[in-house]
Amino acid sequence: MQIFETDALLVIDPQNDFCEGGALAVAGGAGIMPLINRLADRFDRVILTQDWHTPDQISFASNHPGAAPFTEIEVAYGRQMLWPDHCIQGAPGADFHPDAAPTVQKALAVIRKGYHPAVDSYSGFFENDHRTPTGLAGLLRDLGVTRVFLAGLAFDYCVRFTAEDAVREGFEAVVISDASRAIAPETAAAARDSFRALGVSDIEAAALLG
């Protein structure tokens, strides 16, 4: 698959807390960083997203007495999964994983998300209320981007919702599945079903690196 000047690589949340030893570790998370670096080397436009929560984030189970992580509650904007505290602003867990350093150095921009205490954010385009934009769409349009490739953590949440919103915002979206890792098989399957319905392509890195 050829990479054009109108393409961008979106690297989703390559952060310590989503890798082994982190507060919300995704199995194999650190292991995809070398592949992401190889992919980033092929693109002129690389943009990162970064979870950037305050301690009173509504999605933290610790802020809801008696609630357990990985259960859902009803909030003003709908159903919200509760998570362990993670990616807190300025904490080591929010830092980019050291193995992703070449990609971080190449990035044109970092889009921080989830910094509003009353609303979580999975997508790199919108907070979970589906109304509050992050500015990513405008940046991509200003750069002349028409197609985005996505990699990172986690495949079934932040990668998924960023890809879905990319299509809704008028971009072609391609997820690089082996440069991503999922939290759970069932939510990964749901992500793939959604991709098929929306026209999101799902490829392996070899299609770009070969």
Answer yes or no: is 187 within a domain.
yes
Mean of the pLDDT values across residues 145-162? 97
84: pLDDT strictly greater than 90: yes
113 classed as catalytic = yes
- Catalytic residue, chosen from 13, 17, 51, 165, is 13
Could you read off the pLDDT of 105-135 as tens digits, one per residue? 999 999 999 999 999 999 999 999 999 999 9
Answer yes or no: is 73 within a domain.
no
pLDDT at 91: 98
19 classed as catalytic = no
Say which residues have a Cβ less than 8 Å from residue 139's Cβ, sequence separation at least 6. 47, 109, 111
Q: How many whole angstroms separate alpha carbon 164 and alpha carbon 15? A: 21
Answer yes or no: is 68 within a domain.
no
| Structural domain that includes position 34 | 5-54+84-205
Could you read off the pLDDT of 187-196 as tens digits, one per residue? 999 999 999 9
69: pLDDT strictly greater than 90: yes
CATH number (domain holding residue 36): 3.40.50.850
Query: DSSP assignment of 71-131, as one string?
Result: -EEEETTEEEE-B-S--BTTSGGGSBPGGGHHHHHH-SEEEEE--STT----SSSB-TTS-
Mean pLDDT across the chain: 97
pLDDT at 210: 83
pLDDT at 124: 97
13 classed as catalytic = yes
Answer yes or no: is 66 within a domain.
no
Q: How many whole angstroms separate alpha carbon 27 and alpha carbon 20? A: 7
- Catalytic residue, chosen from 113, 120, 156, 165, is 113
Answer yes or no: is 75 within a domain.
no
- Catalytic residue, chosen from 7, 51, 158, 165, is 158
Answer yes or no: is 42 within a domain.
yes
Answer yes or no: is 72 within a domain.
no
